Amino acid sequence: MTVLSIFEIRVTPDALQEAPQLISETLAGTRSQPGCIGVEVTVDIYDPSRFFLVERWATLADDDAYRAWRMTPEGAPTVGRILAGPPVLTRTEVHDEL
């Protein structure tokens, strides 16, 4: 079953200018992973420091493998230095039949 992973991050105020480029570079690695169907980035209308990365994965196993890869030296994201706090991950299953 298709999985949506919604990754909420907040960037520090002084990083707002560089955040889009750094996030884009990081997501190139995400998009290249097996099972990644796509990624969309949204920004809170009222709080431009709040980003939502909406990832669509073919299976939960694909998402799990991706998360494990991000914990390796090769997959470690560089956006951590601009975050204002820990990210929040919400994972959901897509129910197209509803």
Average pLDDT per 10 consecutive residues for the chain, totaling 98 residues:
96 96 96 98 97 98 97 92 96 92
CB 21 within 8 A of CB 28: no
Q: What does the domain layout of the chain look like in residue ranges? A: 3-93
Q: How far apart are CA 87 and CA 55, in angstroms?
A: 14
d(CA 64, CA 85): 23
> What is the model's pLDDT at position 96?
86
Q: Which CATH class is domain 3-93?
A: alpha beta
For residue 22, what pLDDT is reported?
95
Element (H, E) at 23: helix 19-31
HEC readout, 56-81: EECCHHHHHHHHHHHCCCCCCCCHHH
pLDDT for 1:
86
